[in-house]
Amino acid sequence: MADKNIVEKLRKLIKELEAKTPVQPSFVWTPSDSGDSKERPAPRSEGLSPPPATSSASASRPGNIDYQQSSLAIEDYAGFKVFRSVYEPGLVPEFYPVPDDLLPGFDAIEPGISGTRGWLFLDIETTGLLGAATIPFLVGTGKWIGDRFELKQYFLASREAESLMLTEVRRALLEHDVLVTFNGKAFDIPLLNSRFVITAAGLPFLPRTHLDLMNVTRSFGKHPVFGFSLKESVRRFTGLERKNDIPGHMIPALYFIYERDGDISVLEPVFRHNRSDVLDMACLCRVFANFLQGLGGVFKDPVALEGAGKLHLRRGNLALARKCLLESCRNSPVFEETSATKWPETARSRLSGDRATLSVAIVGRMRLLAHVMRKQGDWDHAKEIWERVVSSGNGNVDDYLWLARYHEVVAHDLERAIALTQECISSLRARGKPVPPPLARRIRRLEKLRKRKARNLVSAGNEGE
C-alpha cells in the first residue's frame, strides 16, 4: 500500500491537474460484490449517459488533443466493469479509419493485415512493470464500427474478479484478426498471457497478426527532437500534444489508493490516460499508413519516409521502397531548393549540372534510392543520382564505382569508366587518403580491358588488310 506522504502528494497533483483541465466525471460507481463463478457474467446495464462536458469542438494543429465522447455506457459485472464510449471521426485531423487503398503498406511489413474493420487496438494499465504479481487492472480496447470508433475499458473493481475480467478480455482478443498495440509485443501481450495462465482465464493468446506501432516508429528513424514513446510519437507525427496527462509511473500508486479508500474519483486521470493511448494509436495508424505507402503525412517528415523506405527494402518490397525514398528526397528542404518537383523522372539536365552543396542526410537518401533503382534494373535513373552526388562534391568511393560500372556495362563507355575511377583515386590522394582495395582492383581491371580492346582493334585491322 502507498505511504501516507505519497498518497497526499498524489492527491495534490490530481487536484492541480483537474484545476488546469476541468473534467466532468464521465462515470461514478461504487465497488460491487465479487463473484466466484467462471460462467460469463451477465451485465447490469446502466444505459447511456450524456457526453461529458468538453472545452472545444475539436483540436486544431498545433494544439491539445481533445477526444469527445458521443455516448457512454456502463456494464456492471460482478467485481469488474466495462465502460463503452463512442467517438466520431475527425475529432482530431488524423482520427479516421485507414482506407483500404493505404493498407498495402502495412501488409508489406505485417502479412495478414486486412481491412481496418477487423483491427482491435489494445492498451493496458497495471500495478507495476515486472513480476508475477503485476496485475492489469484496466484494459482498454478500441475498434472502428462503421464510421465510429468504439472504445471499451475493462476495469478491475475487485482483485477477486481478475479471472472473470480477463476471460472477457481474452474473448474480445480472439474475435479480431489484427491486434494493434504500442510496445505490446514486449509488454502488454506477455503480461496478459501470464495472467491468463495464473488466473486460469484461458490459454495464452497468440494474435493472428500483431501490428506493434512502437516497432514501426523505431523503423521510421530517430528524430533529433522526439523520442519513441507513444506521446512523443503523436507529437512528432500529428503535431498534437496531451496536456496535463498523468505520468505513467504514478498510475500503480493511484490504483492502490483506490483499493485502500474505495474512492474511484482518484482514478479519473488514469481512465483518461488509457483512453488517450487507445485513441492516439488509431490516429498514428492513419499517419503511418501514409508513410508506408510513400505518401507522406501532414508534415511530410523526410526522416520517417526514409525509414519507411529502408523497412520496405529490408522486406524486399522494392516498389514501395522506391516510392517512400523518392518522397523522402522530395520533402528534404535542401533537395527542394535544388531539384525539380518530379525528380528524377523530369529533371535529368538539372541533376547533372547543379553543384549545390547537399547535406549528409539527403545524400544518404539519394544513395538508398539509387540502390533500390539498381536492384530494380533501372540503371538509367540510378546513374542520374550518382552523377548528382558526384557533381555536388559529396561523392564517396561507392558512388564513383557504381557510376563507373554503369558506363562500363550499360553505356559501354570504357573510357568514361576509367576517367571516373582515376578521378576518384586522384581525389583521395589529394586529401592524403589511401586508395581502398576495391578501387585499386577496379582501375587495374579497367586498364586491362582497355589494352585488350586495343589489341583486338589492331588484330581486326590486320585481318582487314
Average pLDDT, integer, range 110-125: 86
**Dihedral angle sign, alpha carbons of residues 388, 391, 397, 400:** positive
pLDDT score at 307: 93
pLDDT score at 224: 80
pLDDT score at 113: 84
pLDDT score at 464: 58
Cis bond upstream, residue 62 (ω within 30): yes
Q: Residue 270: which residues within 8 A CB-CB, separation 6 or more? A: 125, 138, 246, 251, 254, 255
- Name the range with the highest mean pLDDT among 57-66, 128-137, 215-224: 215-224
pLDDT score at 68: 67
d(C-alpha 194, C-alpha 196), whole Å? 5
Lowest mean pLDDT segment, chosen from 118-122, 247-251, 402-406: 247-251
pLDDT score at 455: 83
> If DSSP states are collapsed to H, E and C, what string results for the chain?
CCCHHHHHHHHHHHHHHHHHCCCCCCCCCCCCCCCCCCCCCCCEEEEEECCCCCCCCCCCCCEECCCCEEEEEEEECCCEEEEEEEECCCCCCCCCCCCHHHHHHHHHHCCCCCCHHHEEEEEEEECCCCCCCCCEEEEEEEEEECCEEEEEEEEECCHHHHHHHHHHHHHHHHCCCEEEECCHHHHHHHHHHHHHHHCCCCCCCCCCEEEEHHHHHHHCCCCCCCCCCHHHHHHHHHCEECCCCCCHHHHHHHHHHHHHHCCHHHHHHHHHHHHHHHHHHHHHHHHHHHHHCCCCCCCCCHHHHHHHHHHHHHCCCHHHHHHHHHHHHHCCHHHHHHCCCCCCCCCHHHHHHCCCCCCHHHHHHHHHHHHHHHHCCCHHHHHHHHHHHHHCCCCCHHHHHHHHHHHHHHCCCHHHHHHHHHHHHHHHHHCCCCCCHHHHHHHHHHHHHHHHHHHHHHHHHHHHC
Q: Which of 207, 198, 197 is nearest to 172 (CA)?
A: 207
Please give the distance of CA 161 from its chain centroid, rounded to a whole number. Answer: 35
Q: Kindly state the cell numbers that stand for 431.
A: 586529401
Residue 418 has pLDDT above 60, yes or no: yes
Residue 263 has pLDDT above 60, yes or no: yes
Single-letter amino acid, residue 459? S
- Name the range with the highest mean pLDDT among 149-163, 340-354, 450-464: 149-163
d(C-alpha 308, C-alpha 322), whole Å? 10
Confidence of residue 138 (pLDDT cuts 50, 70, 90): very high
pLDDT score at 58: 34
For the chain, give the percent of residues with pLDDT over 90.
56
Confidence of residue 37 (pLDDT cuts 50, 70, 90): very low
Average pLDDT, integer, range 263-278: 93
Pairwise pLDDT comparison (439 vs 348), residue with the higher score: 439
Q: Which residues pair with 69 in a beta bridge?
A: 87
The CA-based angle 423-429-430, given to 5 degrees, is 85
d(C-alpha 32, C-alpha 81), whole Å? 9
Confidence of residue 92 (pLDDT cuts 50, 70, 90): confident
Hey, what domains does the chain have and what are their CATH numbers? 4-292 (3.30.420.10), 302-464 (1.25.40.10)
d(C-alpha 447, C-alpha 445), whole Å? 5
d(C-alpha 94, C-alpha 58), whole Å? 12
Lowest mean pLDDT segment, chosen from 270-284, 301-315, 451-465: 451-465
pLDDT score at 265: 87
**Dihedral angle sign, alpha carbons of residues 250, 253, 259, 262:** negative
pLDDT score at 34: 33
Task: Report the b/e string of 87-121 with b at 16+ CB within 10 A.
Answer: beeebbbbbbbbeeebbebbebbbeebbebeebbb
Average pLDDT, integer, range 170-189: 95
pTM: 0.79
To the nearest whole number, what is the mean pLDDT of the chain? 82
Average pLDDT, integer, range 107-116: 81
Residue-wise pLDDT for 53-87, tens only, equals: 333 333 344 456 666 666 688 899 999 999 999 99
pLDDT score at 2: 46
Q: Which of 441, 328, 343 is nearest to 388 (CA)?
A: 343
Residue-wise pLDDT for 346-402, tens only, equals: 333 333 334 345 678 889 999 999 999 999 999 999 999 999 999 888 889 999 999
Other C-beta atoms within 10 Å of 208: how many? 12
Residue 52 has pLDDT above 70, yes or no: no
Average pLDDT, integer, range 400-421: 95
Average pLDDT, integer, range 37-61: 42
d(C-alpha 27, C-alpha 48), whole Å? 11
Place of cell 524486399: 316
